[in-house]
A and B are shown apart, each in its own frame.
Chain A
Amino acid sequence: MNLGFLKKLRVFVSLLFFVLTSLLFLDFTSSLSTALFSSITYLEFVPSLLKFVNLLTFTSIGFLIILILNIFFGRVYCSTICPLGTLQDIISFFGKKFSKKKKFKFSKPLNKLRYSILVITTLTFLGGTILAVNILDPYSNFGRIMVQFFKPAVVLLNNIVSYILESMKLYWVYPSEIRGFRITSLILPVICLGLVGWLSYFKGRLYCNSVCPVGSLLGIISKFSLFKIEIDLSTCENCGHCGTVCKSSCIDVKNKTVDFTRCVSCFNCFEICPTLGLKYKYSYGKESAVLSSEEENDRRKFLLSSTAYLLGYAGLSFGQNKVKVYTLNTVPVFVKSPVSPPGSQSIERFNHICTACNLCVTACPTQVLQPSFFEYGLTGMFQPRFNNNYGYCNFDCLKCGEVCPTGAILPLKVEQKRVTQVGRAKFIKENCVVETQKTDCGACSEHCPTKAVKMIPYNNLFLPEVKEEFCVGCGACEHACPTIPYKAIYIEGNPVHKTAEKPKEEKIEKKIDLKEDFPF
């Protein structure tokens, strides 16, 4: 049977996933439906696996589908669904166009390297830190590259179009701004894009077969696949074409063998073989167990939780515009714990599940979610946290929980969200406008959605007072507080999220007589 069509199918499916996945990360206007988010990310291996092991829910078995496909046909994930894989194919495509070296050739597997990376990643994960998974997960790497490099470009383009249209009085496209840029957020995407770009430009899928732990894991399973790509010795004419198009450099033309652990199922060889000499052949392999529940229990026992907060000091407030008459305040703000997104339940839980893919960073309409650096400590690097300098969590917004593919941020119902206390407001009277300028302000109380921050009479003025039991930690007060250089009100994160009291509803006793004359 001519299996050449499989290559065309693979190209189509991979580009489809690539475009859709990219759109998710570039959707800075939050206009895509959350159903699209969840259906695209459903099949992403690491997020889906994490969601499954942490929630033990059968609604997140995307990774099982990948594994089953893998057990049948090898690493189909790597060539179709993995967006970093397709990104490499695109770079590789242009590499072959522009460089002198037009052909691939067989190379030996870098087994020591790839398996040690897999072992280290697995062991550190079982040991309780997700850091290595975060740094190496291809989906999350792709997300960070999109959010840090391509999103700004798209926003810029959007703003240029918006500017041109608005000069013609057409308000069709709205300008946007990217708040909270931090150079540290570029560390991982720069390294990853550099490495992936360089390797794929010259060596096809070498990254996937030497660095990527997902590739190595799926490769091990490929060993036991029911159907493997093999060279049919009876029809092979020794032309060697297949070896020149193999991105994984896994076809040994001399010995007529295929290293199926490295094959990413791109099907280029099927298409090029003049004699249909490359085939999927049934082999009598055994299935391998993936992650037993025992291992999972072990993992929980060995959670290393103590390091998370060692370095967890949030950055100080940034200054605002120039001031003329305003007197600066004096009390520095030291935050003990950062704020993790609502639905993450606790910082510890969040730190162990989030792969820092940055999808929620793009989806968050107020941009309060920003990649962290050391706020969560070493193990939680680059995972998103609240940064109220750039925004605050909109009271009824549920977006981050809706898009999170790993279950690190669980979806909330709006009633739950309204009482989810991610932190508590702390007031520093000495920094407050009312105290330092002796004039009314009230910006904090104004923005508070639960009126946990109330204004109480104070020297003929009104001073904020915080009732922590009603506070949800949204950060609206901190964001609105105009004082510099330090905030007079800030959010202290709850390491374990709590439930806030619902604001009290008291009916107003006021008689309205619609026929009564006006009071003036």
Chain B
Amino acid sequence: MDRRVFLKTGVTAGAALALGRYDNLFANYAENIDMVAVKGGEPDIMLDKAIEAFGGMGSFVKKGQKVVIKPNIGWDVDPERAGNTNPKLVGRLIEHCYNAGAKEVYVFDHTCDDWKRCYSTSGIEKAAKDKKATVVPGNTENYYQKVTIKEGKRLKETSVHELILSSDVFINLPVLKNHSSSKLSISMKNLMGVVWDRGYWHKNDLHQCIADFATAYKPTLNIIDAYNVMMKNGPRGVSKADVVQMKNLIITRDIVAADAAAAKVFGMDPATVGHIKYASDMNVGKMDLSKLNIKRIIL
């Protein structure tokens, strides 16, 4: 290499290192926001507003990064039953990721019902493919790799989908709903869709396992879809009558705060939901929302 060129690049690189990450300079005004809660709009519009409040998607996704989005696609039910994440929201989130310069965006879930039917009936497969995301299945064991959970009390090891392990950015995109096993299904519960053996969790203190997993695999961002909310008969629901339109959206990096806020939207005290309480006790995040800087937007 030419000596001059070497020096030049060296100096430039050094300067860049010294100055740190430029994007933070521009995102600074949003830096101290812990959570954005939006209400009263369509799912995609609420997402736009929330991301704007955070200073743009660039706060979470950098140019050239690999992004994995984990919606809830657990059930073979159509969008109005609210058993799965709203497909509109999935579509718009993918757009935001690509606009922020993401190199690749992946979408998957380890479904409960037959995965092909879930992907299709939920409308998420189409929404994701329309926005050029790669839709990946999660229903064969070969995708899962063994990991250890150091701080886990009951869950010491489990197998995690390779995309979670290999992506730069992990966006958790759950739907808020009633749940017969875990009382509520929000951000932490949604992470049961990135592991292989859920039966182990179920028979070894479900709430504790959910909290344990959250100590090790915290998403970059949690976006909670509370547009249509299944108030009973969750997580699958039996009819449209289970659903109430609330038109809420909550975004935060703190997975415990996310669940605490969503529980309140649902009308429950987060401390009564085992896994939220446990995760808070284990300092995974903050259940006490009074200590957070929350930006509230009512459209």
Q: Interface residues, chain A, CB within 8 Å of chain B? A: 29-30, 159, 163, 169, 171, 174-177, 320-321, 323-326, 365-366, 394-397, 433, 437, 439-443, 445-451, 454-455, 462, 480, 482-484, 503, 505-508, 510, 512, 514-515, 517-520
Within 127-143 of B, Cβ neighbours of A (below 8 Å) are at: 134-137, 140-143
**Cα(A109)–Cα(B113), bound, Å:** 55
Query: Is B206 touching A442 in the complex (CB atoms < 8 A)?
Result: yes
- Give the nearest-CB partner of B248 in chain A: A518
Q: B170-205 toward A: CB 8 Å interface, digit per residue (1/0)?
A: 000000000111100000000000000111101111
Chain A residues in 8 Å Cβ range of B198? 443, 482
**A479: min CB distance to chain B, Å:** 9
Query: Is A433 touching B117 in the complex (CB atoms < 8 A)?
Result: no
B147 at the binding interface (Cβ < 8 Å): no
**Cα(A482)–Cα(B246), bound, Å:** 34
Query: Which of A437, A447, A480 is the most central at the interface, judged by chain B CB atoms within 10 Å of its CB?
Result: A447
Chain B residues in 8 Å Cβ range of A396? 76, 117, 121
Query: Is A439 touching B205 in the complex (CB atoms < 8 A)?
Result: yes
- Give the nearest-CB partner of B112 in chain A: A447
Given known pairs A326-B204, A395-B76, the reply for A365 and B117 (CB within 8 Å) is yes
Query: Is B239 touching A394 in the complex (CB atoms < 8 A)?
Result: no
Query: Is B289 touching A439 in the complex (CB atoms < 8 A)?
Result: no
Given known pairs A518-B37, A520-B294, the reply for A440 and B181 (CB within 8 Å) is yes
Closest A-B pairs by Cβ, 4 of them: A442-B181, A482-B199, A445-B180, A505-B241
**Cα(A376)–Cα(B291), bound, Å:** 64
Contact of A510 among B199, B231, B238 (CB under 8 A): B231
Query: Is A443 touching B238 in the complex (CB atoms < 8 A)?
Result: no
Query: Which of B137, B206, B246, B298 is the most central at the interface, judged by chain A CB atoms within 10 Å of its CB?
Result: B206
Chain A residues in 8 Å Cβ range of B238? 449-451, 503, 505
**B180: min CB distance to chain A, Å:** 4
Chain B residues in 8 Å Cβ range of A448? 236
Grouping DSSP codes into helix (H, G, I), strand (E, B) and loop, the A interface class, with mixed when no group exceeds half, is loop
How many A-B pairs with Cβ below 8 Å? Answer: 151
- Give the nearest-CB partner of B240 in chain A: A505
Q: Interface residues, chain B, CB within 8 Å of chain A? A: 37, 39-40, 76, 104, 112-114, 116-117, 121, 134-137, 140-143, 154, 156, 179-182, 197-200, 202-208, 231-233, 235-236, 238-242, 244-247, 260-261, 264-265, 267, 274, 289, 294, 296, 298
Query: Is A518 touching B244 in the complex (CB atoms < 8 A)?
Result: no
Given known pairs A446-B181, A449-B238, the reply for A439 and B298 (CB within 8 Å) is no
Given known pairs A394-B114, A517-B298, A520-B261, the reply for A443 and B181 (CB within 8 Å) is yes
Query: Is B203 touching A447 in the complex (CB atoms < 8 A)?
Result: no
Query: Is B203 touching A441 in the complex (CB atoms < 8 A)?
Result: yes
**Cα(A449)–Cα(B74), bound, Å:** 12
Contact of A437 among B179, B205, B260, B294 (CB under 8 A): B205
**Cα(A519)–Cα(B248), bound, Å:** 12
Query: Is A482 touching B76 in the complex (CB atoms < 8 A)?
Result: no
**Cα(A168)–Cα(B142), bound, Å:** 16
Contact of B239 among A163, A366, A439, A503 (CB under 8 A): A503
- 15 A-B residue contacts at CB 8 Å? A29-B116, A176-B140, A323-B203, A440-B206, A440-B274, A446-B236, A482-B198, A510-B231, A510-B244, A514-B40, A514-B247, A515-B40, A517-B296, A518-B37, A519-B267
